[in-house]
């Protein structure tokens, strides 16, 4: 084994039994488990943060299903490379066997529309099974035609138990580290530095171990902070601090600090971050953290996204700065965000409740005879364009999900709702 090979690569699992985390996908009752066991693998997109096992899982699926495996990186591959792989796949028997080859594309979100288009026929005809990996929301970054032909599976950041499993496995099983006497006394600092990224954790751990002259090593939080923390400050748009800095950026906006917001914005710009990624997060923040307290924020953020998508750097920095400072200085409310969260939770708890008859559409005679829409009150036929009626299923009637925030605009919403629904909801 190559001593220069990173620890994370040396420990890369080869089978599902060795795979850590993502039990919702590959656990005993995971949504992918039966597909893998039966060898019936659909085309799919793995969406998750860096270091969560997307590439590893693709390799394991290919191995355990006995399929030929081709891999491309969207960073340095073009349409010509895709066509060459597809031709190889077709010639390897993809037209005549259930076990068609797997084409794994890392960072598929970096492919242009034309590059993604070149995959469509091969996926649709079954010449290949596509597995794409992305750290970005595929709804934005993968064309709809390709997305409709793939299942999307979400991989989560590793939790504390997963990360400690990786550390203990490294100490016990790695060909080099197992020769040392490593005592893992504390893990908090290592886990915080990893940010839930398994690959980052293992590479930091190896760097830490190699910083000792002795083979007898005691790992404490203090040692980690002294030896490692100062060496991990460089911004890496491919993952290392990508999520940490965007988190600080959004939290600065949420906390109404335009000074911190433009600082973190500058960090991302100087680090070469994707302009659309920054603008997209501003768009989300405008709704999640400001919402109805200042609806104009969403308009400005959307215009910012459109503008920077057209202009690009370096001029986009000005537009991003204007948007970021505007959002930071806006009144804040998460009422709309909280409302949809409550509503989704209610749906999960209560299931598919029937739509009340008076709210149903009645396009046919039979539906009218069954009472569809019979008792519906058309609001515009009543004073102030309002008629009190129940719009929720009977099992959850009178449930309040939207609670306006404490700001001038949403206080107006509260007064409006209080006047309309004084006998139904507690506003």
In tens, the pLDDT along 298-307 reads: 999 999 999 9
Q: Domains along the chain?
A: 22-154 (3.40.50.300), 160-231 (1.10.8.60), 242-328 (1.20.272.10)
- Looking at residue 153, its pLDDT comes to 92
Q: Is the pLDDT higher at 38 or at 179?
A: 179
pLDDT digits (tens, 9 = 90+) for 193-236: 887 888 889 988 988 888 888 888 888 888 888 877 655 545 55
- Looking at residue 68, its pLDDT comes to 85
- Looking at residue 233, its pLDDT comes to 46
Please give the distance of CA 418 from its chain centroid, rounded to a whole number: 37
* pLDDT at 363 > cutoff 80: no
* pLDDT at 24 > cutoff 50: yes
Angle between helices 275-285 and 316-328 (to 10 degrees): 20
Answer for the pair 116, 138: CB distance below 8 angstroms, yes or no: no
- Segment 264-291 mean pLDDT: 90
Determine if the pTM surpasses 0.85.
no
* pLDDT at 8 > cutoff 50: yes
Q: Kindly state the percentage of the chain with pLDDT values over 90.
A: 25
How far apart, in whole angstroms, are the C-alpha atoms of residue 202 and residue 214? 20
CB-side neighbour CA atoms (13 Å) of 310: 7
> In terms of C-beta density within 10 A (0-12 exposed, 13-18 middle, 19 or more buried), how is residue 357 classed?
middle
> In terms of C-beta density within 10 A (0-12 exposed, 13-18 middle, 19 or more buried), how is residue 91 classed?
exposed
- Looking at residue 385, its pLDDT comes to 79
Q: Is the pLDDT higher at 359 or at 54?
A: 54
Per the prediction, the chain carries an average pLDDT of 84
The dihedral region occupied by 161, where left means phi > 0, alpha psi between -120 and 50, and beta the remainder, is: alpha
- Band of the pLDDT at 272, cuts 50, 70, 90? confident
- Band of the pLDDT at 95, cuts 50, 70, 90? very low
DSSP 100: P
| DSSP β-bridge partners for residue 105 | 72, 132
- Looking at residue 94, its pLDDT comes to 46
């Amino acid at each position: 084994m190559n001593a220069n090979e990173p620890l994370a690569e040396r420990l890369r699992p080869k089978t599902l039994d060795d795979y850590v985390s993502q039990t919702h996908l590959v656990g005993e009752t995971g949504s992918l488990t039966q597909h893998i066991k039966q060898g019936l693998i659909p085309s799919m997109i793995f969406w998750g943060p860096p270091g969560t096992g997307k590439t590893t899982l693709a390799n394991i699926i290919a191995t355990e299903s006995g399929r030929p495996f081709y891999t491309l990186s969207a960073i340095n591959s073009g349409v010509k490379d895709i066509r060459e792989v597809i031709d190889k796949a077709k010639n390897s028997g993809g037209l005549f066997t259930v076990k068609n080859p797997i084409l794994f594309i890392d960072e598929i979100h970096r492919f242009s529309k034309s590059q993604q288009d070149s995959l469509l026929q091969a996926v649709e005809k079954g010449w290949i099974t596509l597995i794409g990996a992305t750290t970005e929301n595929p709804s934005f970054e993968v064309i709809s035609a390709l997305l409709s032909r793939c299942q999307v599976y979400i991989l989560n950041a590793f939790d504390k138990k997963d990360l400690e499993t990786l550390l203990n496995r490294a100490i016990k099983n790695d060909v080099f580290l197992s020769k040392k006497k490593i005592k893992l006394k504390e893990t908090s600092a290592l886990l915080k530095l990893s940010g839930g990224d398994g690959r980052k954790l293992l590479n930091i751990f190896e760097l830490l171990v190699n910083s000792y002259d002795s083979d007898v090593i005691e790992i404490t939080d203090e040692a980690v902070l002294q030896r490692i923390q100062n060496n991990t400050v460089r911004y890496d748009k491919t993952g290392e601090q990508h999520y940490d800095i965007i988190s600080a950026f959004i939290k600065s906006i949420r906390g109404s600090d335009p000074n911190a917001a433009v600082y973190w914005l500058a960090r991302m710009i100087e680090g070469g971050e994707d302009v659309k990624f920054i603008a997209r997060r501003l768009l989300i923040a405008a709704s999640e953290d400001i919402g109805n307290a200042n609806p104009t924020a969403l308009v400005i953020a959307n215009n910012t996204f459109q503008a920077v998508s057209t202009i690009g750097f370096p001029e986009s920095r000005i537009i991003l700065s204007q948007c970021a400072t505007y959002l930071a200085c806006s009144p804040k409310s998460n009422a709309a965000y909280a409302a949809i969260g409550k509503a989704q939770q209610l749906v999960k708890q209560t299931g598919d409740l029937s739509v009340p008859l008076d709210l149903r559409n009645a396009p046919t005679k039979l539906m009218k005879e069954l009472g569809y829409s019979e008792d519906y009150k058309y609001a515009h036929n009543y004073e102030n364009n309002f008629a009190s009626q129940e719009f929720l299923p009977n099992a959850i009637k009178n449930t309040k999900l939207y609670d306006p925030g404490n700001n001038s605009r949403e206080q107006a919403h509260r007064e409006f709702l209080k006047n309309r629904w004084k006998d139904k909801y507690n506003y």
